[in-house]
Structure 1
């Protein structure tokens, strides 16, 4: 995949400034982060799901002790993700975890924010564009439909809005039609066109005796039991006729626009706060959102259990069937039939598999529909016990 700036002004100069600032603040920030992480690690004792530490160690090539350290830093990042955007307001440009999970970066357009950020244990990064400006540009692109435009997302670390396109010509057409300042944009070309992970037949659940998808998470609406899944897996009224999941009926479904649905099952069917890891089970205790850079795992009926990291929030994807907004981007692999399956960080439900590109042999990009909009839109309660 080839990435390039639309203008000669490149991300390199901004990143150099950011790293200079970040390095200057690292010692004080590191001490505070270490203290917060130590507290978070102590709270994790006895609460980490069986097998989770081993999974993280295998996925990231780290020791079990380092896996605990990573979980602790991710917990601190989740707290800062709630607090920092309101604290520095208009200058906020995003938060992410370092690749080695030993630092939490917070980008800002105002150098006067740096002391406050260091005091929170974050490494400040001075950038040119605030997050609101990038999100506004992304919103403008949401209204476009250009052949060869596969989607777009905000790369926090590069402080840019990335357009994914089949080629430079398609990307140029998007930029020209949008009227967005090219200085905000980076273009990625050469990616495969994303597509929903439609079904091939098999286990998990079968819709109308015809196609297969995967269960997301067990939910209830009042006293009615059911589960959430991907919207492209079925329309309201479609029947879940067989498979590992209990038979039921799609009650509501949104696709495109979003990619969410919920299925009601029989009143006597048992619901479990578990995700099938295909080598055991993972318990679900809440739906706390994980920060960009956090570890995340996915379960699906085609490829089973795979892990990676969260790369970006609010990805817009242009499937052939229509535009889907508000997805979360990951580097976890997936394949057709994994659609609707669970994305989970630790014991926190994150969302349901939507689609992507690549496969689990060569790797790829997968997007998921965050679970929150489904729960709130349809007054659903996540099963956590």
Structure 2
């Protein structure tokens, strides 16, 4: 059951917002100030002691703040970043030693790799162009640049190496180096669901989850409803209308609220943890812990596995997604992804479930705020 938020008046499953204003620095809120229960949830998800979880959260906050500066110092040599959970430090990949020295001067670790981010992104963009022509087999689940290997990782369903897939992979290799991964890969699907009980929002016969509060409404997934569609809250009272929506290509939307509903800078913990305050939207590097809140499976955690990933849904490809190891199920679409107190994005889709595990992607929050000119509601 939903906890903490009193139901005196219809209160939406909170969402977060951000937009071209100044962002709150994660370091301004230490692990000590995180919502009660977060350290316990982190300890359970990652097998850490409470002190180890606290240290990891503190280091992840510092890495998120350091990343933009380190990327700037790397210049055109920049190849990507990730958080190393063994050293608890930000790692920046570059293509030459001079850039590595500049990066290390910021306090980050540096590694020299063979391809820049621009090179890998150009490779990925050529694959994106193929997806727009319908030339990508359904067995190809997604693809993304990977700074650790200097390749574009192509995820393909195991046991489906058909002639069509082989042809696609041959084209992918002609654009540059790729790494083919089949381990645990399944065809991704969106996480909308038919109307069931819970604490969601509804549009038509679809149930989805609120992402983050913005001033004037909240953000969520685009596949949950089209422009102008009416939205109803957990109590089925009128909540507002979709003021903007995009899917496929993107998977984001925002709902302009009305009918007495207001916005709050909170993500529900569903009794697993205390409700989490939202203080900003600094982008978490690959390898950073991340947690998801949704109306079906509630609160689950994992790590950021990749950025700028293209997801090949049945309805069409969606670009610039972030892949995670967090599970999700039908009805969780649109829900919040958050690291500490920093909004990350809204749940799009994936595969698997929260019994056996799976993989889930989210649409980055800062992109949504920028596209619609929204401002994140922060504490």
Residue pairs, 1:202-351, within 5 angstroms = 202=196, 203-220=198-215, 225-243=216-234, 247-266=239-258, 268-279=260-271, 280-351=274-345
**Is the 8 Å Cα contact of residues 90 and 108 (structure 2) preserved in structure 1?**
yes
Among candidates 73, 84, 94, match of residue 70 of structure 2: 84
- Cα offsets for 1:275-323 (capped at 9, x unmatched): 1111131111111111111111000111010001111111101100011
Higher relative contact order (CA 8 A, sep 6+): 2
Q: Aligned pair 1:124/2:110, yes or no? A: yes
Give the aligned partner of residue 26 of structure 1.
none
- Cα offsets for 1:63-117 (capped at 9, x unmatched): 2221221122212211231012221212211111113352332212212333333
- Cα offsets for 1:20-67 (capped at 9, x unmatched): xxxxxxxxxxxxxxxxxxxx9896165322222222222211122212
Q: Aligned pair 1:187/2:177, yes or no? A: no
**Is the 8 Å Cα contact of residues 137 and 180 (structure 1) preserved in structure 2?**
no
**Is the 8 Å Cα contact of residues 41 and 68 (structure 1) preserved in structure 2?**
no
TM-score (norm 1): 0.83
Q: Greater CA radius of gyration, 1 or 2?
A: 1
RMSD over aligned Cα atoms: 2.1
Give the aligned partner of residue 377 of structure 1.
371
SS in 2 for 1:328: strand
Aligned residues: 341
**Is the 8 Å Cα contact of residues 77 and 95 (structure 2) preserved in structure 1?**
yes
**Is the 8 Å Cα contact of residues 164 and 171 (structure 1) preserved in structure 2?**
no
SS in 2 for 1:129: coil
Give the aligned partner of residue 109 of structure 1.
95
Q: Aligned pair 1:67/2:53, yes or no? A: yes
Distance 2:30 2:263 in 1: 26
**Is the 8 Å Cα contact of residues 97 and 105 (structure 1) preserved in structure 2?**
yes
Distance 1:308 1:131, change over 3 A: same
Task: Tell me the CA shift for residue 128 of structure 1.
Answer: 1.3
Q: Which stretch of the first structure deviates more once superposed, 86-95 or 113-122? A: 113-122
Q: Aligned pair 1:165/2:156, yes or no? A: yes
Name whichever structure is richer in helix by fraction.
1
Among candidates 63, 70, 93, match of residue 79 of structure 2: 93
TM-score (norm 2): 0.84
Distance 1:127 1:45, change over 3 A: closer
